[in-house]
């Protein structure tokens, strides 16, 4: 089967630019999720194996049948340095989809991290190594390697729609995906939000405790009359 005929594995994708990945990596996932309209976050079940793990890079998307990791092996083989492999594992945690061996292969290949809406194993080794792995759970049971699955096709992972090449950011709070074409504008908004939040935290520490928007929001919600104040 030629590359052009292969309907399962798409090798050529348009990736988010490396310089934008570097800029985005300076922000928390939470900041980016806020400026993206509080959308594009994966379900909270997908967490880093270690709280210190962080990841940023363009998505290599994978869909698997629960309990089978053949398509993930294909993704590992075609991913480029800096890519983040993102797997729709259907939230199934009855079998681990990767462990220490595949994580070691990914790290040696220059891959930035692996995110799986499914289970992983060898948690002690993954934690000690520090290579970014995010998962929905742990299970010592290993996977099968026999079921075809698409690589670099549009997917929905833990409730978030992801296109190949989109920007993935993950940290202790979880994972957010930003559409590739929206990233430059969102990074500018992220810097403004970070500056505002930094200033607000400093103001709180200086004694300005009440949020300046609170009374207006309470009136709008009907919790205060126009004449009332807190």
Per-residue pLDDT tens over the stretch 21-41: 999 999 999 999 999 999 899
Pairing assessment for the beta strands 47-48 and 133-138 based on DSSP bridges = antiparallel
pLDDT for the residue numbered 1: 52
Per-residue pLDDT tens over the stretch 126-145: 999 999 999 999 999 999 99
Distance CA(117)–CA(64), nearest Å, equals 10
Distance CA(132)–CA(111), nearest Å, equals 10
| 7 pLDDT more than 90 | no
pLDDT for the residue numbered 196: 94
- The mean pLDDT of 161-172, rounded to a whole number, is 98
Angle between helices 70-78 and 100-108 (to 10 degrees): 20
DSSP output for 159-194: TEEE-TT-EEEEETTEEEEE-GGGHHHHHHHHHHHH
| 214 pLDDT more than 70 | yes
pLDDT for the residue numbered 4: 59
Computed over every residue of the chain, the mean pLDDT equals 95
| 71 pLDDT more than 60 | yes
| 2 pLDDT more than 70 | no
- % of the chain at pLDDT higher than 70: 98
Length of the chain: 230
| 80 pLDDT more than 90 | yes
- The mean pLDDT of 38-66, rounded to a whole number, is 97
Q: How confident is the model at residue 230 (pLDDT cuts 50, 70, 90)?
A: confident
Q: How confident is the model at residue 229 (pLDDT cuts 50, 70, 90)?
A: confident
Distance CA(81)–CA(48), nearest Å, equals 20
- The mean pLDDT of 51-67, rounded to a whole number, is 97
| 5 pLDDT more than 70 | no
| 84 pLDDT more than 70 | yes
DSSP output for 77-111: HHPPTT-EEEEEEEEEEEEEEE-HHHHHHHHHTT-
122/230: higher pLDDT: 122
H/E segment holding residue 202: helix 183-205
Give the HSE-up count for residue 11: Cα atoms under 13 Å, Cβ half-sphere. 7
| 178 pLDDT more than 60 | yes
For the record, the structure tokens of 173 come out as 């709070």
1/78: higher pLDDT: 78
Q: How confident is the model at residue 212 (pLDDT cuts 50, 70, 90)?
A: confident
């Amino acid at each position: 089967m030629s590359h052009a005929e292969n309907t399962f594995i798409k090798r050529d994708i348009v990736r988010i630019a490396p310089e934008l990945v570097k800029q985005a990596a300076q922000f928390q996932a939470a900041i980016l999720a806020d400026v993206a309209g509080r959308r594009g976050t994966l379900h909270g079940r997908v967490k880093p194996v270690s709280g210190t793990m962080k990841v940023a890079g363009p998505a290599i998307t994978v869909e698997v049948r629960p309990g089978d990791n053949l398509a993930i092996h294909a993704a590992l083989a075609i991913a480029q340095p800096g890519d983040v492999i993102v797997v729709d594992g259907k939230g199934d945690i009855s079998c681990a989809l990767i462990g220490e061996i595949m994580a070691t292969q990914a790290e040696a290949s220059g891959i930035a991290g692996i995110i799986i809406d499914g289970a992983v194993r060898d948690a002690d080794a993954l934690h000690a190594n520090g290579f970014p792995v995010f998962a929905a759970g742990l299970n010592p049971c290993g996977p099968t390697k026999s079921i075809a699955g698409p690589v670099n096709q549009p997917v929905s992972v833990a409730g978030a729609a992801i296109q190949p090449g989109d920007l993935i950011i993950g940290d202790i709070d979880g994972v957010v995906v930003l559409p590739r074409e929206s990233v430059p504008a969102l990074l500018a908004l992220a810097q403004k939000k970070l500056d505002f939040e930094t200033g607000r935290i400093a103001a709180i520490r200086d004694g300005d405790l009440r949020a300046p928007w609170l009374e207006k929001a309470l009136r709008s919600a009907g919790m205060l009359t126009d004449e009332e104040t807190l």
